[in-house]
A and B are shown apart, each in its own frame.
Chain A
């Protein structure tokens, strides 16, 4: 149980375009989902916390207009990287949390490359 999927697993886009990444909880309802970014050989950097039906809470230094997060249902959250630039190239990982409990269950990640 507690399986989280992400799509796509890998995406290459041109500078200036927008990219959408989907995060789905497959076998449970996730009232809260999280979006992380991981730089090479670095820890997971929390970008934002997404609650179903409400606006996401962004961490300090994360541009909310650049990284649009939508959590429209209890099983789906999306991250849209708008007007992508090469410095946005990274590994993006989502996670989902059950209504009760501390554990977060992570998706497999999405490798974004902006050329």
Chain B
């Protein structure tokens, strides 16, 4: 049962444009969401997060939007840069004191010059 889904395995965007990565979830008890970036043969790097009580969080070029009614979150990167090419994972915390995170399958973002 995939509780966190990233339905686009890959995304290609031109440099300077906006990249939008999407993530859907099924568990309404998730109370915190995170985005990670991963390069090949490296561990994921934390990017940005959002609490379920908010609908937007911004940090520099990265903005995460949360739509609780649709159980959907998205990561916007603007402007996109070549160094943003990586695999992006969204993750959710089950809440209720649970410590682990539930990860999506990842989306490979390629920024074209």
Residues of A within 8 A of B (CB): 4, 6, 32, 34, 42-44, 46, 49, 91, 93-95, 97, 102-109, 111
Whole-angstrom CA separation of A46 from B99 in the bound complex:
12
Cβ B42 vs Cβ A46 within 8 A = no
Q: A102-B32, A102-B93, A103-B49 are in contact. Are A46 and B43 (CB under 8 A)?
A: no
Within 8 A of A (CB), among B8-52: 32, 34, 36, 41-46, 49
A104 and B105 form a contact (CB under 8 A): no
A27, chain B: closest CB distance, angstroms = 15
Whole-angstrom CA separation of A50 from B99 in the bound complex = 10
Main SS class of interface, A: strand
Q: Which of B36, B49, B103 contacts A102 (CB 8 A)?
A: B49
Partner of A95, one of B32, B43, B104, B105: B43
Contacts of A42 in B (CB 8 A): 105
Query: Which range contains the number of B residues in contact with the other chain?
Result: 10 to 19
A107 to chain B, nearest CB (A): 5
B103 contacts A44, CB within 8 Å?
yes
Q: Are the CB atoms of A103 and B43 closer together than 8 Å?
A: no
- Chain B residues whose CB sits within 8 angstroms of the CB of A4 once the complex forms: 43
Tell me, in angstroms, the Cα distance from A95 to B101 when the chains sit together: 11
List, in ascending order, chain A residues with CB within 8 A of B100's CB.
34, 46, 49
Least CB distance, B79 to chain A, in whole angstroms: 26
Separation of A46 and B105 alpha carbons in the complex (Å): 13
Q: Are A109 and B42 in contact (CB under 8 A)?
A: yes
